[in-house]
Structure 1
Amino acid sequence: MGKKTIGVYWFTNDLRLDDNPLLAQAAQEVDQLICLYCLPSYSEYLKRFTSESHYGSARERFWQQSVASLDQALNEKGQRLVVSQAHPFSALAHLMSNDNISALYCDDFVAHDERLIVQHLSCYFPLVKICQRSQRTLFQQFELPFTLDALPASFTQFRKMVEGQSIALPHCAITNLPAPAKHSLETVTLPEVSVSSRDDFVGGEHFAHAHMMCYFSTSFASRYKQTRNELDGKENSTKFSPWLAVGSLSPSQIMHALNQYEHRNGSNESTYWIFFELLWREYFQWYARKFGVSLFQRKGVQNKPPLTTFYPQRFKQWKMGNTEYPLVNACMKQLNQTGYMSNRGRQLVASCLIYELGIDWRYGAAYMESQLVDYDVGSNWGNWQYIAGVGASRSARRFDQSKQAALYDPQREFVLRWNGNSSVATSDNVDMVDWPKRA
């Protein structure tokens, strides 16, 4: 009998067994499998830019539910999730050094840090086969009608080039997995997390599919374009983004469900707009992949530093929802309590931070990263660059706060619901010592 081969599947933001061809590939190629998940840590970068020390409670609860759900699904297939507090490079390097690993399976990441981890592992462990696949995009890179270097400079150009492309059907659910392998990695136990009626979103593949089926069982999709800019209301937008962000749902699964809905109910401008929004998300996945570390730099991908700086007191008031703009306050309080904010709200609070308060856009992007249950690196940082005029949009995307409030909250219902009427006057106290170094 030959020596058994051992593989590692590194779960990140692909926390699902359905429509996971890379995991199916691993199941076919190795005799034993280690399913690894590394707990996220609050980076020094985030600490610097948010003045916070940990993720928001809603975001943390959602990913804990998502990971626990994955572990349960693996247990039902005779597997288990190996959870480590170590940095992913340290955890994977330990396994490769000590546990006779023959192959690593992981997402073909768009994010710079994860790509760097894989590059370093391939250098240090050249005998370990590394298998990657884009797990969170509609298309694989080879399916794009252009090279990554030639990614269109605007979303509109991108959309026109790809919207006629065929999209692969979701892959079948995995029925069998190799047995778990013994290993020497120090592990931790997942925190117990229950489901509460107070949860706006519940993490996990089961709840992701339940929500998608429920949404497409109604007529909401047929009027999505008319309601998508509403500031609140579960029925006004699809609310798929939290499960997309952690990978409990794939964009291909949503497209398949959308196509089935259109087959049953007919297509219109609203159903097309759901596809449109998936393409918007898709664009920023490849945007992040192309531009790498420039995604996080003040001057953006255009190498054009904006005329903003940092005011600690203003930033604190923006975070807490205590500015002179009631609608912005209401949006920020909704974010802090629920971990979620509407697309329109995100544009308004970003515009306020940059253009009304004069603050470097990176502080807002980092705070959103710390709080959003649907945080996605490309969508978050790419859209903040877009609003700041240093990314996919060459001009500033400044919103008239009074006009927006009159359009989207004319009766002030949203402001009242989230207590957006601030009792704190805007302070312009600026301490030069508090200004960060520009990068």
Structure 2
Amino acid sequence: MSRQVGLFLFKNDLRIHDNLALATAAAEVDQLICIYCLEPKQPPSSLRAPSNLSPHRQFFLQQSLTDLHQSLKNLGQQLMVTNDSPLDIIPQLITQHNIGHIYCSEAAGYYERLNWQRLIKRYPFIGFKSITTHTLFEIAELPFPIAELPDSFSKFRKLTEHLSIKLPQPKLASMPPSPAVFIPWPDPSPIKVDNLLFEGGEQRALAHLKNYFNSELASTYKETRNGLEGMDYSTKFSPWLANGCLSARQILRVLHAYEHHKGANDSTYWIYFELLWREYYQLYAHRHGKKLFSFSGLKLTKPATSFYPERFQKWCNGNTPYPIVNAFMKQLNSTGYMSNRGRQLVASCLVHELGLNWRYGASYMEQQLVDYDVASNWGNWQYLAGVGADPRGHRRFNLTKQTQIYDPKGDFIKKWGGDNFDSQLDSVDAADWPISRS
């Protein structure tokens, strides 16, 4: 009997716990090739140079892949990492190893799903399986078709927050071996990272999950979640969630155990509330596909904003007339991270105070954030720009009032040098600047 050879394409699921797609592949084939492609996952989604990722993003991913490779080695497997696109490397492996089955975790990103469909059309004789691992619910479990996803989070929450959620899958105990195939890892360029807040990888994710719920922080989360700096004001699960080192179901299981032993309150519910917000944007990306990156978003008319290069550069560098925004942007550039409150304020500033095309802001965050997630990032930017899932339209924050509430003594601004800026926003008349494509 011929041996069944399969291929598993890792994407944003860099773990061996609660990975149903990987478990399915391991159970159905005799030999398995595990591969990760470093090429940018959504090149047309952004307006930046695709390879220009921040050192923090690169370093976190590098750590996560190294950790996954070690976990696979412990199971007699190996992880192959390549700079090639899946559309280039997978055909080579199909020919070389007579691959009959290809697996992956379902992706929220439109362009990832497009590439997957291209492979399916190109190889109709191969069995393809894409399995949900990045959400709390499977689409088939929802009380509505994905085409009828509610147009606001509040409507979605009312329909879903009481639904039962499956328990996470156990850690893989064994895997089929890899065939005799060797693809050397790309030589990593030296990455210099200062102000390292997060270490990548499933092991660090599990350690953080355990440490967070061993503390009492979950019981005060709702009161502290709008903090600006530090590791304790919010859960800080997002970098590992974004890279798939940790699943939403794993978090929810430990949250429920915490509530059982230490008591449930508004704060513990609010952690679930935030997981539902993330869930909504994952489904939002599935539902709206390419529109996630459209200037007009879900609306019929385009925003009354444009692209002014000098203003955008000053926003990126934290050199605007708004000290709180400057402080957040300098924090982001230095650490690869920013609080949720900060993300709202800098986005509001870019769109409403500076009059800039929101997609350039979303693209810059894609480049910088260590917890970049295509659905949450682009969905939230649409929300702030008034072209997404918000029936009330634009979300404009009073930056002076926000500063008084969240940094009343100016400590955060002072630490990050937010009050050091060029008093002149525009050095030339805006009419002289080119208008970007929309």
If the length of structure 1 is used for normalisation, what is the TM-score? 0.95
Q: CA deviation at 1:91?
A: 1.6
Q: CA deviation at 1:41?
A: 3.4
Q: Distance in 1 between matches of 2:375 and 2:44?
A: 17
| 1:352–1:192 Cα change, 3 Å | closer
AA partner of residue 172 (structure 1): P
Unaligned runs of 5+ residues in structure 2 are: none
Q: CA deviation at 1:433?
A: 5.7
| 1:433–1:100 Cα change, 3 Å | farther
Give yes or no for the alignment of 1:298 onto 2:292.
no
Q: Distance in 2 between matches of 1:75 and 1:52?
A: 31
User: Could you tell me which residue of structure 2 aligns to residue 99 of structure 1?
Assistant: 97
Q: CA deviation at 1:375?
A: 0.4
User: Could you tell me which residue of structure 2 aligns to residue 245 of structure 1?
Assistant: 242
User: Could you tell me which residue of structure 2 aligns to residue 209 of structure 1?
Assistant: 206
User: Could you tell me which residue of structure 1 aligns to residue 286 of structure 2?
Assistant: 289
SS at match of 2:103: strand
| 1:52–1:325 Cα change, 3 Å | farther
Please list, as runs of the form range in 1=range in 2, the aligned pairs for 1:5-404 lying within 5 A after superposition.
5-41=4-40, 45=44, 49-50=47-48, 54-183=52-181, 187-189=184-186, 191=188, 198-394=195-391, 395-404=393-402
Work out whether residues 42 and 112 of structure 2, in 8 Å CA contact, stay in contact via their aligned partners in 1. Answer: no
Give yes or no for the alignment of 1:436 onto 2:431.
no
Work out whether residues 225 and 233 of structure 2, in 8 Å CA contact, stay in contact via their aligned partners in 1. Answer: yes
| 1:191-226 deviation digits (Å, cap 9, x = unpaired) | 398999952000000100111111101111001000
SS at match of 1:434: coil
SS at match of 1:158: helix
Q: Distance in 1 between matches of 2:93 and 2:417?
A: 50
| 1:151–1:43 Cα change, 3 Å | closer
Q: Distance in 1 between matches of 2:368 and 2:84?
A: 22
Q: Distance in 2 between matches of 1:312 and 1:193?
A: 30
AA partner of residue 247 (structure 2): S
Q: Distance in 1 between matches of 2:309 and 2:318?
A: 14
Q: CA deviation at 1:419?
A: 1.1
Q: Distance in 1 between matches of 2:267 and 2:136?
A: 20
Q: CA deviation at 1:107?
A: 1.4
Q: CA deviation at 1:90?
A: 1.4
Work out whether residues 96 and 125 of structure 1, in 8 Å CA contact, stay in contact via their aligned partners in 2. Answer: no
AA partner of residue 353 (structure 2): E
Work out whether residues 314 and 426 of structure 1, in 8 Å CA contact, stay in contact via their aligned partners in 2. Answer: no
SS at match of 2:100: strand
AA partner of residue 5 (structure 2): I
The count of residues paired between Structure 1 and Structure 2 equals 435
SS at match of 1:27: helix
AA partner of residue 373 (structure 1): V
Q: Distance in 2 between matches of 1:393 and 1:165?
A: 23
Q: Distance in 2 between matches of 1:312 and 1:111?
A: 28
SS at match of 2:13: coil
Equivalent of 2:416 in 412, 415, 418? 418
CA RMSD of aligned residues (A): 1.9
AA partner of residue 304 (structure 1): T
| 1:193–1:74 Cα change, 3 Å | farther
Q: Distance in 2 between matches of 1:43 and 1:152?
A: 25
| 1:404–1:45 Cα change, 3 Å | same
Work out whether residues 212 and 254 of structure 1, in 8 Å CA contact, stay in contact via their aligned partners in 2. Answer: yes
| 1:393–1:338 Cα change, 3 Å | same
Unaligned runs of 5+ residues in structure 1 are: none
Q: Distance in 2 between matches of 1:26 and 1:385?
A: 36
Work out whether residues 291 and 297 of structure 2, in 8 Å CA contact, stay in contact via their aligned partners in 1. Answer: yes
If the length of structure 2 is used for normalisation, what is the TM-score? 0.95
SS at match of 2:77: coil
